[in-house]
Amino acid sequence: MTERKLFSIIIWFVIISGIIICTGDTNQSQGLFGSYVIHSDPAGAEVYIQGKLYGTTPLLFIPDNFILTPWTIILKKEGYQNGSIIISENLKPNTQKEISYTLIPSQKYGSIFVDAHPVGSLVNLDGNSPIPLPYTFEHVPEGIHTIQVSKAGYKPYVDEKVEVTEWSQISIHAILIPNYERKELVVTSTPPDTEILVDGIYRGKTTKDIPLLIGPLNDGQHIITGRMNGYHDTITDVFTRQDRSANIHLELIPVHSIPRSSTIQIKTVPPGSDVLLNGIWFGTVPADGYLVLNDIPPNRYKVTITLDTYKDYVMWVFPNPGETVTIEKELEPVLI
């Protein structure tokens, strides 16, 4: 090989190498993008980008050279609806962007079965069109609902605090009072022949087939006590109005039986709230899941939920033997 040919080969090699190096540098500078820090509330959501799982929030994501806009971030967490974020433009190199997304709890459902006396009564749920009874409302969203049962010539039955939880199957048997009756309260019991006291005053006994009608009563809250020899007293409360029919069913527990304990479980948004039962502190709601209070004797309890910078939430619960009462509450911030 002559010196001229060798020199030409070397020159071409240098030129081609330079082109490759320059091209490589150009592609690299144009192909790198900035990074993203992806957060979710609550944390721990799975992050899918273009259908691929990259981890859980909080997550640092650096797009590769081949990702094309627009691209999509999907957040998934059990108990919440999927979240979707569309990225329409990639970041410039050496930049970073925080992305935050608040997940929405998944809708949960239960059912409500309603029957009534007299026959021919109608029922409506949350003020919707009336439906002949008996009837089962399926796929009722979790939360507090209003049931109204009505029939011409009778006082309507109204319950504005029907609480539906996931998979719950609520059964309501309403007994209406004729308009001419000066009664507001309908009481039944298991077993029958139970003495009934209203605000400490004896008002009669329940019977097997005929409910005890009580009235007139002042509009407002009243304490109802069921009493029978050989059984523990059963106490609850009821709100009455003269133009409505209020229904109470009492279940008495034998003195010599061992009452089955109940469970109360509480979940709040945000977590970290303190829970008091009848003024006694029982624990703090964890960041993920429920505060579970086991071995709760069946009784009437005042549940108070407190958290700094949020309004206190108070409710009364009456767990039956062996029942699990679930409380899920989004706390209201204190406006400053």
- How far, in Å, are 89, 100, 105, 303, 308 from residue 33 at the CA level? 10, 19, 33, 52, 42
- Model confidence at 4: pLDDT above 70: no
pLDDT of residue 9: 52
Higher pLDDT, 183 or 16: 183
In the CATH hierarchy, which fold is given to the domain comprising 262-330? Immunoglobulin-like (2.60.40)
Q: Give the C-alpha distances (Å, rounded to integers) separating 178 from 124, 159, 248.
A: 19, 18, 17
- Side-chain-side CA neighbours of 254 within 13 Å: the count stands at 3
What is the rounded CA–CA span in Å between residue 123 and residue 132? 6
Contact 245, 157 (CB under 8 A): yes
Of 54, 52, 17, 22, the closest CA to residue 37 belongs to 54
The answer, yes or no, to whether residue 17 has pLDDT greater than 90, is no
| CATH code at 35-102 | 2.60.40
Q: Which fold has domain 109-251?
A: Immunoglobulin-like (2.60.40)
pLDDT in tens, 214-272: 999 999 999 999 999 999 899 988 999 999 999 999 989 888 876 678 899 999 999 99
CA angle (172, 175, 177) in 5-degree steps: 150
What would the pLDDT profile of 267-317 be if each residue is shown by its tens digit?
A: 999 999 999 998 889 999 998 889 999 888 877 888 999 999 999 999 888
The predicted pLDDT at position 260 comes to 74
As a dihedral over the C-alpha atoms of residue 54, residue 59, residue 62, residue 64, rounded to 10 degrees, the angle is 10
Q: Which two tokens stand for residue 258?
A: 């061992």
* Confidence (pTM): 0.54
